[in-house]
Structure 1
Amino acid sequence: MLVVDDDEVIRQLIAVNLQLEGFEVATAVDGQDCLDKVVEVDPHVITLDVMMPRLDGWVTAVRLREDEATRHVKVIMITARAQDHDIRRGHEIGVDAYITKPFDPNELIRTVRELATGRVG
């Protein structure tokens, strides 16, 4: 798992919830940090905020999809951007799931588990 969010409180909240469920978690502070760490961490799933400095979540997701080494990684957008056009944009980019803030930790865990294992339910 790689948790990417520029807000330290949100980043730690996501990381702790995932760690409590047994996931091994690394963190990144923005999109550029994510791209710098992703090959080393080799996550199955990345949670990605949209609005971040240096490199936002949209550009980061596009770059992850364009790179042969990271194309397979499942991406969950976790963002306050909840407009229909934002969600549509995420799906057009190839994001695997879209969760809006404030999020339900149980929904997050369920979504991560489904994407990490390939099993729904």
Structure 2
Amino acid sequence: MKQYSTEVTWLVPEYVTLTVKAETPQEAMEKALAEVALDPDRFPRKLDYDTCGPDAVTGLWKGPEAYADARELDLPRTPTQTLEAAIAAVVQEARAGAAAPPEIHALIEAFDAWREAR
């Protein structure tokens, strides 16, 4: 049986808490994001282990040692990558002028917001 070295990564969100003055919840969110972006190190960050992302293999090598040489193996696509690619294809077709129901336009708006937030 062959040996493979793998690298497994998990996403642990970090968060900060701050107080802002605003007229609306939307304005409060925008101000908080802007304030944190101006000086990311100003606020102590905390790790949120309750909302960790799924574990994912982020590296794969033949043999008993990771990074032993430059021959890292290609990783198969994950379900998340497959879903993102499918959504991106629908979005691209709708933006190119393909007929699309209102739900697709709502999906495009949500998809754009999601990608920007990443």
The normalised TM-score by structure 2 is: 0.21
Structure scoring higher RCO (CA < 8 A, sep ≥ 6) equals 2
The normalised TM-score by structure 1 is: 0.20
Compare the two structures and name the one with the higher helix fraction. Answer: 1
Please identify the structure whose Cα radius of gyration is greater. Answer: 2
